[in-house]
Amino acid sequence: MIDLHTHTIFSDGELIPAELVRRAQVLGLRALAITDHGDSSNIDWIIPRIVAVCQELNSVLEIRVVPGIEITHVPPALISKTARKARDLGAKIIVVHGETIVEPVAPGTNAAALESDIDLLSHPGLITAELVRKAKEKGILLEITARNGHCLTNGHVAKLAKQVGAGMVINTDSHSPGNLVDLETARRIVLGAGLTGDDFSLMRENAARLTGLEIKE
């Protein structure tokens, strides 16, 4: 299991990075990205600290830890600018907090995200087929999520992404210890979204490609 969407005390998560990584390691994860919530007010503080702790942990652990950010509730007109700044600061995985149906995300967020230099659009809600095609064109992955509430539109996202051929990943959007999942739980979440075991394998390959790892059975 590779998880590209997690949170620590640098935003609204419950754990410091070292504990999050340890718990992920115990569950058998091979890699995870730390992607705390950010906008222009805090990314210049958060990202360098995440980069530093990832470097330190990677020097002594087998699990790979990747520095990232989740650009969250940023007005659509500012997403591209924020993504560029995040990349310059050292974020290797840039996530945009998509138009989940359980939060008042600004309309147009999905579209603006897909025009920006990002890697992943998280929980994109009732995303349109046109935007799914844009995600495929740009090579931006769409998220199937284990997160309560956000997961309500997994089936919709999965159906359109598979029809169009857009890339997907399975993530937890972890905020607390109990949010992390093992490989088998992730597989069942994917199947529950109407996808297949082969789709799950492709999702694992997509995640591995972003972290520079090879998939192991």
Q: Does residue 10 lie within any of the structural domains?
A: yes
Which stretches of the chain score pLDDT less than 70? Answer: 214-217
Domain that holds residue 203: 2-211
Per-residue pLDDT at 213: 77
How many angstroms separate the CA atoms of 85 and 50, rounded?
15
Tally of structural domains, the chain: 1
Q: Are 136 and 167 in contact (CB under 8 A)?
A: yes
- 102-116: pLDDT as tens digits: 999 999 999 999 999
Residue 54 lies in a domain: yes
What is the residue type of 39?
D
The CATH number covering residue 44 comes to: 3.20.20.140
Within-domain flag for 116: yes
Domain annotation covers residue 216: no
Q: Helix, strand, coil % (nearest 5) of the chain? A: 45, 15, 40
pTM of the predicted model over 0.85: yes
In this prediction, residue 65 carries a pLDDT of: 97
pLDDT the model gives residue 131: 98
Tokens of 85: 């700044």
> pLDDT value at position 24?
98
pLDDT of residue 214: 66
Give domain status of residue 87, yes or no.
yes
